[in-house]
Amino acid sequence: MGLDHFITLPRKEPMSDFVRSRNHLTLDGARTALAAAAEKSAELGLAVNVAIADTGGHLIAFERHDGATPMSAQVAQDKAYSVAINGGAPTHLFFDAVKDDPAVREQIFNQHRLIGFGGGVPIVIDGEVVGTIGVSGGTAEEDREIAEAGVAALS
C-alpha cells in the first residue's frame, strides 16, 4: 500500500502556521565532535564513552575508546538523551535545580534514563540546539570538559 491512500484536503491557512523547521546535526558533524572529544580525552589521559544524539535523544553516533568501561557506555547515551528531553539543558544543571526539594529530586531521578550530573551538553550552532553529546568514564567534571571540547569543534 502506497501513500496514495492518504487524503489531502485543501487548506486555507498556510502550512507554515502549523509547523516549524529545525536544523539537525549531520553524521559528519557528529564525527567531528567525536574526534574532538577523543583528542581531549587523550589529552586528559582518560578512556571514555562518547554518545552524540539528535534533539529527540536518538543516537547519531557512539564511540567507546579503548579501555573505556562498558558499564559507562549506557551512561554516556543517557546523558545525551537527558539533555535532549530537557530542551538542551546541560546535565550538570539538573541536580542543582532540584537538590533542595527531596520529593522532586527523587521523582525526577527515578525517571528512566535521566542523568543529573556533568557530562551531557547541548550542541548549539548559530543559537540553535541541533544535537547533544554525552560523555562518561571520568569524573563528572572531566566528562563535561570532554563533551564541551566536542561541541567547541563545531563552532
What is the spatial distance between Cα 58 and Cα 131, in angstroms, rounded to a whole number? 9
9-20 pLDDT, tens digit each: 666 666 677 888
What average pLDDT does the segment 117-125 reach? 94
pLDDT at 117: 83
In tens, the pLDDT along 39-73 reads 999 999 999 999 999 999 999 999 999 999 999 99
At 131 the three-state DSSP class reads: strand
pLDDT of residue 99: 73
Task: Identify the pLDDT of residue 88.
Answer: 93
Mean pLDDT of the chain: 89
With residue 135 as reference, give the H or E element that holds it.
Answer: strand 128-136
Using the predicted structure, report yes or no on whether residue 114 has a pLDDT greater than 90.
Answer: no
Give the pTM: 0.84
DSSP strands (E only) in 29-127: 49-53, 59-64, 120-125
Q: How far is CA 50 from CA 14, 106, 146, in A?
A: 41, 27, 9
Q: Which domains can be identified in the chain, with CATH numbers?
A: 22-152 (3.30.450.150)
The C-alpha atoms of residue 49 and residue 51 are separated, in whole angstroms, by 7
pLDDT over 90 percentage in the chain: 66
- The pLDDT value recorded for residue 113 is 80
